[in-house]
């Protein structure tokens, strides 16, 4: 017996009851469409989140002051620490270092005043954090040396104060009442789930040390954070080790009692990948349940069909059909049903994913659902397997009917 | 022995219906020669259907021996029985039992498919339909055919594998008298011309009158055997 012949017969039988076959297929269609759409949304979310993190740079290392809770004596991070880390002899895996002071600051133009994040950095910060400007220039070494009163605005701050992000270079804003000349405006990075990345102003580190540290108290060369860029992504763990060794020696900490914390950009990436992975599995799992329900629908209908066609089965057996022939006949029917449903489901799921992507784009989120070959394969194999699995019981019931009883059945 | 296509020896069949055992056949011995046309008669409950099921290898006897065209049937498993039914038995049912979804041609092709034949199926089925007088109806579905025509399709289906015997269970029971007579004529003609052994189960004595021998059953036993016309009291 040949596959084509079986397939033809299965199609004949299925099309003889179009409404019922269609409704049965609907369960699989919805199941597969849900699986495809959910997986693609999950993968799209994962891609857009990791993409956003990658933009910040994967070879970034953050060093902050303070360690575990039981460490009571904390030496702050200082410019000396930053210089030591920047020394290529001590830390060959570190490419660039950007020391940083952070605080809140009031920015005012005319009567307009806004509270925002202040970042005080050196010129290397631009390269470390991939800062791109839509207008003007970033802080340079001379301005750091000369403690210049210059400021780079985040795009949100520029929008709030001036209602625009262009033509602001040369204007003056007041930080805590002191005048600063605008030398550049950053390009918008967009929100990425961690709050706005555009709501801050950036000034030279030395200027902040001279003008604002008095308000904060503490040593004048105290830092809030040191950003370090490893030479390559692969060198990040090595760079972390080097930084930790330098700081342990400089801070003379006891073993296991670091008074600082290092944090890799890769950690965030890993965490994000974990979260989106769980999300994808979760969504896919829910969708798989609907596929399962669809499969049970197929089993149900096939059981009805076997009962309905008892006489036909009896006749086929009388004409010489073996157990196997009947088994194959009914399995082909259920597999055809679920494969056809699966194919339609893939198309529908694709369409759904595309629609979700369109809606996301229309609402301003950079988010593209990804319908991968793997999810299509998964859905196809899964739906065929569902058809076979849930077809086995009805088919074997049909195959084991006794011809005498089947023929007598009314 | 060699000219016997069917040889039954002391066949019994016992059904259990709950607590009660029913002896449908209580020991039937029977020989049918190749090419013979035999009628099996008897009132309902006499064991006609049971005998027919055993003759057609649809059911196994409880005890006794059955040899069909040289095969010892009682020893065979389900799949081997299916093969025997396919090659050696052609069934004609009272209610035709055609597959309504497919054409007459596909219905006649069915036994050839189960025989594992791949080539020339269509041609052979078409030829068979032609020889029962339906050469111009091969693409019709059963619902588009009259009762007599449907039974002709069934006869073509029964004969397409050139079986050792044709088992007809009340073949004229669902037909009006005219098409019934035509069907009977066709069966007898095929019996004569092709030498196919024919066994007709019926309670219509006018049907039985066309055969060469009548076997009358009662209470699971052969009550009488006679040539039509010489019916014993």
pLDDT digit string (tens) for A355-377? Answer: 988 888 887 766 778 788 888 88
Interface of B with A (CB under 8 A): 53, 56, 58-59, 78-79, 82-83, 85-87, 91, 93, 97, 99, 101-102, 110-111, 113-116, 118, 157, 161
Radius of gyration in angstroms for the set of CA atoms belonging to chain A, rounded to a whole number: 33
Q: A-chain residues within 8 Å CB-CB of B83?
A: 320, 322
**Nearest residue on chain B to A400, alpha-carbon basis:** B78
**What pLDDT shows up at residue A41?**
84
| Contact A12/B at CB under 8 A | yes
CA dist list (Å): A171 to A135, A178, A271:
13, 14, 42
Site from A13, A317, A318 to mutate, B interface, most B CB atoms within 10 angstroms: A318
Q: Whole-model pTM? A: 0.72
**What pLDDT shows up at residue B1?**
46
Q: Is beta strand B213-218 parallel, antiparallel or unpaired with respect to B37-41?
A: parallel
Of B102, B115, B118, which has the smallest distance from its Cβ to A320's Cβ? B115
Average confidence (pLDDT) over A318-339: 91
| Contact A309/B at CB under 8 A | no
Q: B-chain residues within 8 Å CB-CB of A13?
A: 101
pLDDT band at A8 (very low <50, low <70, confident <90, very high): confident
Of B87, B91, B118, which has the smallest distance from its Cβ to A318's Cβ? B91
Contact (Cβ atoms closer than 8 angstroms) between residue B53 and residue B29: no
Q: Give A145-194 pLDDT, tens digit per residue.
A: 999 999 999 988 888 888 888 888 998 999 988 999 999 999 887 654 45
Using alpha carbons, select from A191, A181, A193 the residue that is nearest to residue A156. A191
d(CA A288, CA B27): 60
Range scoring the smallest mean pLDDT among A42-46, A79-83, A157-161, A297-301: A42-46
User: String of b and e for A225-237 (b: at least 16 CB within 10 Å)?
Assistant: bbbbbbbeeebbe
d(CA A241, CA A230): 11
**What pLDDT shows up at residue A210?**
86
**What pLDDT shows up at residue A315?**
93
Average confidence (pLDDT) over A243-268: 84
Question: What is the secondary structure of A3-65 as a DSSP string?
Answer: HHHHHHHHHHHHHTTHHHHHHHHHHHHHHHHHHHHHHHHHHHHHHHHHHHHHHH-TTEEEEEE
Tell me the range of A77-81, A218-222, B166-170 where mean pLDDT is highest: B166-170
Q: Give A19-76 pLDDT, tens digit per residue.
A: 989 998 998 899 889 888 888 888 888 888 877 777 766 788 889 887 766 666 677 8
pLDDT band at A217 (very low <50, low <70, confident <90, very high): low
DSSP state of B129: H
Question: What is the secondary structure of B112-123 as a DSSP string?
Answer: HHHTT--SSHHH
Tell me the range of A267-276, A364-373, A400-409, B147-156 where mean pLDDT is highest: B147-156
Cβ-proximal residues to A355 (8 Å cutoff; 6+ apart), any chain: none
Spacing of C-alpha B233 from chain mean position: 28
pLDDT band at B28 (very low <50, low <70, confident <90, very high): very high
Please report the beta strands in B37-164, taking only residues with DSSP state E, as ranges in sequence order: 37-41, 63-68, 71-72, 89-92
Q: Indicate yes or no: CB of A315 within 8 angstroms of CB of B99.
A: yes
Q: B-chain residues within 8 Å CB-CB of A402?
A: 59
Q: Indicate yes or no: CB of B110 within 8 angstroms of CB of A316.
A: yes
**What pLDDT shows up at residue A236?**
87
How many CB atoms neighbour CB A217 within 10 A? 7
Cα angle vertex A14, ends A13, A16, to 5°? 65
pLDDT band at A251 (very low <50, low <70, confident <90, very high): confident
DSSP state of B74: G
**What pLDDT shows up at residue A183?**
93
How far away is chain B from the Cα of A25, in angstroms, using its nearest Cα?
Answer: 21
Q: Give B187-223 pLDDT, tens digit per residue.
A: 999 999 998 999 999 988 888 999 999 999 999 999 9
**What pLDDT shows up at residue A193?**
45
| Contact A16/B at CB under 8 A | yes
| Contact A18/B at CB under 8 A | no
Contact (Cβ atoms closer than 8 angstroms) between residue A345 and residue A382: no
| Contact A5/B at CB under 8 A | yes
């Amino acid at each position: 017996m040949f596959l084509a012949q079986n397939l033809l017969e299965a199609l004949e039988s299925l099309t003889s009851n179009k409404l019922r076959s269609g409704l049965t297929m609907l369960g699989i269609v919805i199941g597969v469409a849900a699986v495809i759409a959910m997986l693609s949304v999950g993968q799209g979310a994962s891609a857009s989140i990791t993409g956003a993190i990658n933009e910040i740079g994967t070879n970034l290392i953050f060093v902050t002051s303070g360690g575990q809770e039981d460490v009571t004596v904390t030496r702050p991070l200082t410019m000396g620490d930053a210089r030591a880390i920047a020394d290529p002899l001590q830390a060959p895996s570190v490419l660039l270092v950007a020391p940083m002071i952070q605080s809140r600051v009031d920015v005012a133009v005319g009567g307009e005043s806004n509270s925002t994040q202040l970042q005080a950095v050196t010129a290397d910060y631009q390269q470390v954090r991939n800062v791109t400007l839509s207008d003007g220039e970033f802080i340079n070494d001379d301005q750091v040396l000369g403690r210049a009163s210059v400021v780079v605005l985040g795009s949100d701050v520029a929008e709030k104060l001036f209602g625009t992000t262009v033509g602001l270079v040369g204007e003056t804003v007041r930080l805590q009442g002191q005048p600063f000349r605008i030398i550049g405006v950053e390009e918008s990075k967009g929100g990425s789930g961690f709050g706005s990345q555009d709501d801050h102003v950036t000034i030279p580190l030395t200027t902040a040390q001279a003008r604002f540290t008095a308000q904060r108290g503490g040593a004048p060369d105290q830092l809030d954070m040191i950003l370090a860029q490893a030479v390559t992504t692969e060198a990040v763990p090595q760079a972390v080790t080097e930084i930790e060794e330098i700081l342990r020696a400089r801070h003379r900490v006891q073993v296991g009692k670091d008074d600082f914390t290092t944090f890799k950009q890769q950690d965030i990436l890993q965490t994000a990948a974990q979260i989106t992975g769980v999300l994808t599995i979760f969504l896919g799992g829910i969708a798989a349940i609907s596929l399962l329900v669809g499969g049970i629908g197929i089993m149900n209908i096939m059981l009805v069909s076997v009962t309905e066609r008892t006489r036909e089965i009896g006749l086929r057996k009388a004409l010489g059909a073996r157990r196997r022939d009947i088994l194959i006949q009914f399995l082909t029917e259920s597999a055809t049903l679920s494969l056809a449903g699966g194919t339609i489901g893939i198309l529908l799921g694709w369409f759904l994913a595309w629609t979700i992507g369109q809606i996301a784009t229309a609402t301003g989120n950079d988010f593209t659902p990804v319908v991968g070959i793997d999810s299509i394969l998964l859905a196809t194999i899964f739906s065929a397997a569902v058809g076979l699995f849930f077809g086995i019981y009805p088919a074997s019931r049909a195959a084991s009917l006794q011809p005498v009883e089947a023929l007598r059945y009314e | 022995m060699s000219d016997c296509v069917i040889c039954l020896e002391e066949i019994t069949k016992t059904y259990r219906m709950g607590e009660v055992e029913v002896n449908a056949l209580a020991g039937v011995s029977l020989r049918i020669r190749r090419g013979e046309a035999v009628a099996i008669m008897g009132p309902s409950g006499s064991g006609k259907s049971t005998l027919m099921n055993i003759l057609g290898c649809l059911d196994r006897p409880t005890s006794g021996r059955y040899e069909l065209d040289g095969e010892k049937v009682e020893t065979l498993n389900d799949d081997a029985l299916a093969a025997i039914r396919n090659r050696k038995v052609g069934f004609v049912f009272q209610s035709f039992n055609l597959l309504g979804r497919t054409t007459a041609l596909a219905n006649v092709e069915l036994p050839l498919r189960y025989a594992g034949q791949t080539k020339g199926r269509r041609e052979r089925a078409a030829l068979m339909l032609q020889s029962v007088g339906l050469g111009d109806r091969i693409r019709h579905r059963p619902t588009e055919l009259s009762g007599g025509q449907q039974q002709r399709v069934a006869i073509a289906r029964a004969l397409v594998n050139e079986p050792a015997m044709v088992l007809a269970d009340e073949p004229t029971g669902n037909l009006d008298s005219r098409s019934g007579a035509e069907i009977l004529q066709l069966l007898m003609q095929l019996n004569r011309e092709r030498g196919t052994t024919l066994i007709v189960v019926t309670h219509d004595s006018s049907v039985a009158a066309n055969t060469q021998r009548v076997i009358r059953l009662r209470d699971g036993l052969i009550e009488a055997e006679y040539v039509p016309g010489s019916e014993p009291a």
